[in-house]
Amino acid sequence: MPAASRLPDRILTLLQGKKATPLDAASLARRLRVPPGAVARTLTLLEKEGRVARVRQNHWISAQSADLITGTIQFHTKGFAFVLPQDGSPDLHIPAEDTANALHGDLVVARLDRRPQAPGPRGRRSDGTERRCGRVLRILERRAANIVGTLQKTARFHIVIPDDPRFLHNLYVPTPGTEGSPAAQPGDKVVARLIEWKNRHSNPEGIIVERLGAHTDPGVDILSIIRKFDLPAHFPPEAIAEASSFPKVELPDNPPGREDLRGEFIITIDPDTARDFDDAISLRELPNGHAEIGIHIADVSHYVKVGSTLDHEARKRANSVYLVNGVIPMLPPRLSDDLCSLRPQEQRLTYSAFVRVGPDGKAGVARFSRSVIFSRHRLTYAEAMERLKRPPRDDLDRFLQRAWHFASALRRRRFASGALDLDFPELRILLNAQGRPDRIEKESSDESHQLIEEFMLLANESVARHLNQENRPAVYRIHETPDESRLQEYRELLIAHGIKAGDLTQRGEIQKILKLLPGRPDGYALKIGLLRSLKRAVYSPKSLGHFGLAKSHYTHFTSPIRRYADLLVHAGVSGNAGWSPGHPDLSRRGHRGHQLWHVCRTA
């Protein structure tokens, strides 16, 4: 192994342990006999990873040895904060008076307070364990360079009031239109750049860099969200060029390396507003009432190769972001709206999962292959539901009703196994021609939605089981068993609302409660309360099962157009060694709101 690749470990060996003393970069370079510049660069990287910390000016020590923790600080509107360590260990509570001059989202170094904490709930985490507390020592990286807010004028100053209440301080800014800032009026939405903040007892200073418009202008609220989360509204020219270089899909008969499904009866079912169609379904009848269900997913990995410009851009974005008036896609439109969208009457490259299902909904043998399809129909949910309710008139009606027969069997079996109905009705906000909210439509989960949902769950579970059995590196979607203490707290809440509740550690009891809640005035709030009592679903390189879905193995496979995690799973199914659980976006939290681990872990 080259010496350079061992340098971080060699540095840590000198800086950790009970007898270790802080050393400066020059001393480390002499002891290790490597150039000082290489040591300095490595120390900077190790500091951002939270493995070393700087003390006594330019001296360094192992962070663990000095009780120092590096992580992202997240503020509460009441002033206190939490530091989320880079290594994924439990968060660190920071009292308001110990946050120094940190701002929400900054990368900070905090010292762990070893003093005993006060008894009571404030000294404990939600899982009952003792809460760690600390204080911020240093700001490593200002991550909130730009702050979105509303411009206001006081008697003496212009200030920007941040939209995000976790930014607890207003920004002093020069008079708009001076010092290179754009003209703006009080009440306008603006983007301000932080310039300086040295003392938490005074307001930070900044300068306006962009006027978004009057706060009442249509679309300004959406533009504010885009700027607030630093969402990438445009693709770099290199990514556009790479996406545009792919030819139209026109494959010969029996294409090498792909299963030819162009003669199969395959359809898509999506919302009427969908712009991309990344999943399609098929069904082949088998003897004894069995069927082979085909779930065909856009083969995005054919176009987005590991290490390519498209891959780097997709990894950075991590997901498509859906806004009320549109979408910021993970992939350029040439892929997301065209080549990777399974449009009807066009050839498309897919990755297919074929799963045998019995009449009782029991899933059997599964196989996977790269394929090419030719979708026969594109249905909306409403169109599919209309066909499901009427007597069959044509092949499409008969296909849908047979598909629902197996989907309903899968659904019955899933809930019999203890799956929880945690879904909420989707609300869709519709805008008028001026871009203002016009009305809200409630989208119920009828049989047409459930048909697609069950087939997608079937594919995700089958892929996860296959990856686990093959012991391939993979990213799983996990939902761990809830803490008994949290369930007991929720049981007491139910009793306070007049609902008799048994032992909620038993799935059946939670299912009973969920059946009681619809129609109650407090039903929605109590269902939210249950969700807060459960653990969050996160991504993990270990297959730990999904509590809510009652599945021992589960992953995300069905939406690689809009989720980078699914793209990684496709690579795992195909045996692509271009990534591993040590992938930087999976092994530690990203610093931006749309980095894969940082956001998807709470989705």
115 versus 310: which is more confidently predicted?
310
Q: Is a pLDDT exceeding 70 seen at residue 125?
A: no
pLDDT at 121: 43
Which residues, in sequence order, are CB contacts of 370 under 8 Å at separation 6+? 257, 258, 259, 299, 302, 349, 350, 351, 352, 574
Q: Is a pLDDT exceeding 90 seen at residue 210?
A: yes
429: Cα separation from own chain's centroid:
22
Tell me the backbone φ, ψ of residue 472, rounded to 5 degrees: -90, 150
Region of 522 (left: φ > 0; alpha: ψ -120 to 50; beta: rest) is alpha
Q: Which helix (H) or strand (E) holds 84?
A: strand 81-85
Q: Which helix (H) or strand (E) holds 53?
A: strand 52-55
Confidence class for position 216, pLDDT limits 50, 70, 90: confident
CA-wise closest residue to 542 among 575, 581, 571: 581
pLDDT at 53: 81
Q: Is a pLDDT exceeding 70 seen at residue 129?
A: no
As a 3-state breakdown, the chain gives helix, strand, coil percent values, each rounded to 5, of 30, 25, 45
pLDDT at 2: 46
Lowest-confidence segment of 4-13, 291-300, 387-396, 488-497 by average pLDDT? 4-13
Q: For the segment 545-574, what is each residue's pLDDT rounded down to a tens digit?
A: 999 999 999 999 999 999 999 999 998 887
pLDDT at 20: 81
Q: Which helix (H) or strand (E) holds 7?
A: helix 3-15
Say how far apart CA 331 and CA 328 lie, in whole Å. Answer: 9
205: Cα separation from own chain's centroid:
33
Kindly report the CATH number that applies to the domain delimited by 68-141. Answer: 2.40.50.140
pLDDT at 600: 35
Q: Which helix (H) or strand (E) holds 366?
A: strand 363-374
Residue reference for tokens 């418009």: 213
Q: Is a pLDDT exceeding 90 seen at residue 455?
A: yes
Q: What is the mean pLDDT of the segment spanning 482-509?
A: 95
For residue 585, the tally of other CB atoms under 10 A from its CB is 21
What is the domain partition of the chain in residue ranges?
3-62, 68-141, 146-228, 237-450, 471-600
Give, in order, the Cα–Cα distances in Å from 296 to each of 8, 263, 373, 455, 602: 44, 14, 8, 10, 27
Say how far apart CA 294 and CA 81 lie, in whole Å. Answer: 48
Asked if the domains at 3-62 and 68-141 fall in one CATH topology, the answer is no
Confidence class for position 467, pLDDT limits 50, 70, 90: very high
Q: Is a pLDDT exceeding 80 seen at residue 56?
A: no
Confidence class for position 282, pLDDT limits 50, 70, 90: very high
Confidence class for position 315, pLDDT limits 50, 70, 90: very high
Give the residue ranges of DSSP H helices in 346-471.
381-389, 395-416, 447-470
pLDDT at 6: 86
Kindly report the CATH number that applies to the domain delimited by 146-228. Answer: 2.40.50.640
CA-wise closest residue to 590 among 143, 215, 166: 143
Say how far apart CA 25 and CA 48 lie, in whole Å. Answer: 16
pLDDT at 593: 31
Say how far apart CA 147 and CA 199 lie, in whole Å. Answer: 18
Say how far apart CA 271 and CA 287 lie, in whole Å. Answer: 34
Say how far apart CA 102 and CA 125 lie, in whole Å. Answer: 23
DSSP one-letter string for 447-499: HHHHHHHHHHHHHHHHHHHHHHHHT----EEEBPPPPHHHHHHHHHHHHHTT-
Torsion sign over Cα 336, 340, 341, 346: positive
Q: Is a pLDDT exceeding 80 seen at residue 347?
A: yes
Q: Are 410 and 293 in contact (CB under 8 A)?
A: no
Which range, 173-182, 456-465, 585-594, is most confident? Answer: 456-465
Q: Is a pLDDT exceeding 60 seen at residue 596?
A: no
Range 3-62 classified under CATH 1.10.10.10: yes
Q: Is a pLDDT exceeding 80 seen at residue 598?
A: no
Share of the chain above pLDDT 70, in %: 92
461 versus 199: which is more confidently predicted?
461
Q: What is the mean pLDDT of the segment spanning 243-267?
A: 94
Say how far apart CA 168 and CA 96 lie, in whole Å. Answer: 11
Q: For the segment 58-115, what is each residue's pLDDT rounded down to a tens digit?
A: 888 888 778 888 899 999 999 999 999 887 788 899 999 999 999 999 999 898 887 6
Confidence class for position 412, pLDDT limits 50, 70, 90: very high
Lowest-confidence segment of 52-56, 104-108, 250-254 by average pLDDT? 52-56
Q: Is a pLDDT exceeding 50 seen at residue 585?
A: no
**Helix (H/G/I), strand (E/B), else coil: 425:** coil
Say how far apart CA 356 and CA 368 lie, in whole Å. Answer: 12
Lowest-confidence segment of 39-53, 409-423, 449-463 by average pLDDT? 39-53
Q: Which helix (H) or strand (E) holds 15?
A: helix 3-15
pLDDT at 594: 32
**Helix (H/G/I), strand (E/B), else coil: 568:** helix
pLDDT at 117: 55
130 versus 102: which is more confidently predicted?
102
Region of 352 (left: φ > 0; alpha: ψ -120 to 50; beta: rest) is beta
**Residue 283, class by beta-carbon neighbours within 10 Å (0-12 exposed, 13-18 middle, 19+ buried)?**
buried
Mean pLDDT (the chain, rounded): 88
Give, in order, the Cα–Cα distances in Å from 532 to each of 490, 519, 527: 9, 20, 9
Say how far apart CA 473 and CA 401 lie, in whole Å. Answer: 38
Q: Is a pLDDT exceeding 90 seen at residue 126?
A: no
Task: Tell me the two tokens of residue 535.
Answer: 């653990």
pLDDT at 546: 97
